[in-house]
Amino acid sequence: MTGEPPPDKPASAPGKHIRLTSHPGQGASGAPPLQWGAADPLARGPVVGSTTNRSQRNVIGSHSGSYGVYRALAVAAGNLVKGHRADLTNTAPTDPVGPHPQWADPQKIVSIDPWGASVQTVFADFLERGYDIRPTIAVTKAHIHLPEIRQAIAFQRLKPDGRILLDDASAAVTKIAVEPVWWLPGVAQRFGVSEADLRRALFEETGGMYPELVTRSDLEVFLPPIGGQTLYVFGDLRHLADPTVTLTARVHDECNGSDVFGSDICTCRPYLTHAIEECIQGAQDGGVGLIAYSRKEGRALGEVTKFLVYNARKRQEGGDRADKYFLRTECVAGVQDMRFQELMPDVLHWLGIRRIHRLVSMSNDKYDAITGSGIEVGERIKIPDALVPADAKVEIEAKIAAGYFTDGAVPTEADLAAVKGRGLE
């Protein structure tokens, strides 16, 4: 080895220099301006987050949330041609959503792009002129099969109707995938912090991943590298915006261990499937049902932190107990929760929702966020006691004592100290 770079080393090849976009004015000539909250989509402008043509970009970050890193890996590995443009033929939503008046209120929606599902049509002219505009929302149809729903039919709590619930025990749904698109001034306002402080924290806490956060105050929109949301709608999607149609809804935060694998330390899957049963029943009774599922694993602390907390809970003196439930999380993570329900109602406003008649959730944080954003909530539906796994009593009793909705008695400190979970075996 001579220390000389090989002739094909990328850094020395012409046109392969890294170009930083962190300096104002550089390459901004072709970027469409964004006017967040404008009622007319053309006045609002398309979100251009692709890296195909840097001069057209008008946001910080890139598409697909955390999967953007896999896209980079695919380019690096030579599996994906840099600059590939999506062929959007036949990708338009199966069911139209909006526009709703909430879309034109920059206070109501700050963390998703209300026009993200319909770029194929509303920004057709931009697409024709060569702008690489990607949908950040996709709307499709599916049938979902769940053993709990099959069981509900067997126990005659549900009955197939051939429309909402089919004869093979599957439920017909419209499902919607939503990627985060943050309008930074609005996000900052939602949390009561200055935009400068928000930008600085995002820059520093991602290890300086997005220099434009601090150098490009002219770019107000950020595509954060985080998970998004999936919505499952039972019944006619258009009814969501009609406050006279009974809406049954659950806003659920991801818990892979329980939701998918049936881990019994929490109530996540039983509550989720109970909510789906309520949604199906509600839609069959002439209403509409909605599950809004957010990728905020382990209270948005992530699974590693979550599993560390499980160990800390079960190994502490006296074993796993409800009176120390929140303390153990705080010891490991520094906080009890990072889900920030403040942004969660955006997707409800995107759907045009003004009233949730039956909220299948006991969370006071979710309830406060929804009602605080101007959506009325009627009845609150708690998880039936019979669906709480034995080892999840610690969690549910601690949450009820901390303010979760219950129609029963709130446990005292002595009660909490007596609620014990299983050990590590």
Interface characters, 22-61, with Zn ion (x: CB under 5 A)? ----------------------------------------
- How many beta carbons lie within 10 A of that of residue 400, not counting itself? 21
The count of chain residues that interact with Zn ion, using the rule CB under 5 A, is 4
Could you tell me the smallest distance in angstroms from the CB atom of residue 223 to Zn ion?
28
Sheet holding 288-294, edge to edge: 137-144, 171-178, 229-234, 288-294, 247-253, 355-359, 376-380
CA atoms within a 13 Å half-sphere pointing along the CA-CB vector of 308: 12
Q: Please give the angle made by the CA atoms of 396, 401 and 405, to the nearest 5 degrees.
A: 70
DSSP state of 320: S
CA atoms within a 13 Å half-sphere pointing along the CA-CB vector of 252: 26
Could you tell me the smallest distance in angstroms from the CB atom of residue 152 to Zn ion?
21
Quick check: is 337 catalytic? yes
Q: Give 134 or 324: the residue with its C-beta nearer to Zn ion.
A: 324
Q: Give 61 or 298: the residue with its C-beta nearer to Zn ion.
A: 298
**Active-site residue (options: 132, 320, 337, 346):** 337
Cα separation, 189 vs 298, in Å, equals 26
DSSP state of 329: H
Three-state secondary structure of 2-34: CCCCCCCCHHHCCCCCCCCCCCCCCCCCCCCCC
**Which residues inside 196-255 make contact with Zn ion, applying CB under 5 A?**
255
Cα separation, 80 vs 112, in Å, equals 27
Q: Give 268 or 275: the residue with its C-beta nearer to Zn ion.
A: 268
Residue 266 · residue 256 · CB < 8 Å: no
Q: Give 277 or 297: the residue with its C-beta nearer to Zn ion.
A: 297
Could you tell me the smallest distance in angstroms from the CB atom of residue 31 to Zn ion?
42
Helix (H, G, I), strand (E, B) or coil at 141: strand
Quick check: is 161 catalytic? no
Interface characters, 334-353, with Zn ion (x: CB under 5 A)? --------------------
Is residue 329 close enough to count as binding Zn ion by CB under 5 A? no
**Active-site residue (options: 339, 354, 358, 380):** 339
Q: Give 171 or 266: the residue with its C-beta nearer to Zn ion.
A: 266
Q: Give 171 or 255: the residue with its C-beta nearer to Zn ion.
A: 255
| Closest to 347 in 3D by CA, of 122, 42, 103 | 103
Write the burial class of residue 379 (CB in 10 Å: 0-12 exposed, 13-18 middle, 19+ buried).
exposed
Cα separation, 352 vs 132, in Å, equals 28
**Which residues inside 247-266 make contact with Zn ion, applying CB under 5 A?**
255, 258, 266
Could you tell me the smallest distance in angstroms from the CB atom of residue 389 to Zn ion?
10
Is residue 268 close enough to count as binding Zn ion by CB under 5 A? yes
Write the burial class of residue 99 (CB in 10 Å: 0-12 exposed, 13-18 middle, 19+ buried).
middle
Q: Is the peptide bond before 6 cis (omega within 30 degrees of 0)?
A: no
Catalytic residues: 337, 339
Residues that bind Zn ion (CB under 5 A): 255, 258, 266, 268
